[in-house]
Amino acid sequence: MTLLLAIVVGALYASGLFLMLRRSIVKLAFGLVLLGHGTNLLILTAGGVVRGRPPLIPKGGAPLDAPPADPVAQALILTAIVISFAVVAFAIVLLHRVHRTMGSDDIDSLESTRP
């Protein structure tokens, strides 16, 4: 399972970097999204993919016989999802503004207009 997730993370990083190196700003935004998803899977894989029970023991209960799931990786992924959503939303608004102002999304055709 870990090998499969490592291959998927590598594919997401590779396709995200490929899209970010294209000439279109829209493809740059999609590449940013793929890098965010790859990072979330990387954190999940580094935290260990186990089918453990939640690390909660009731008062007076017996200790866990199976290893508990690590909640830190899940909390980090949730935080990363929120941050990447905000970054992507900002990038889409910026993309819309650039396209409306310049009339193109090609990176090479965008020039700064200095007075």
Q: Encode pLDDT of 7-29 as tens digits.
A: 999 999 999 999 999 888 889 88
Report pLDDT digits (tens) over 69-81.
677 888 888 999 9
Domains of the chain (ranges; CATH) run 1-50+70-104 (1.10.287.3510)
Token pair for residue 8? Answer: 């998927």
Query: Is 98 or 11 the better-scoring residue by pLDDT?
Result: 11
* Measured distance CA(19)–CA(34) in Å, rounded: 9
Residue 113's pLDDT is: 57
- For residue 66, the 8-state DSSP code is S
Q: Mean pLDDT throughout 80-97?
A: 91
Q: How far apart are the first and last CA of the chain?
A: 58
Torsion angle of C-alpha atoms 103, 106, 112, 113, degrees rounded to 10: -30
Q: Given a cut of 90, is residue 30 above it in pLDDT?
A: yes
For range 91-113, the mean pLDDT: 82
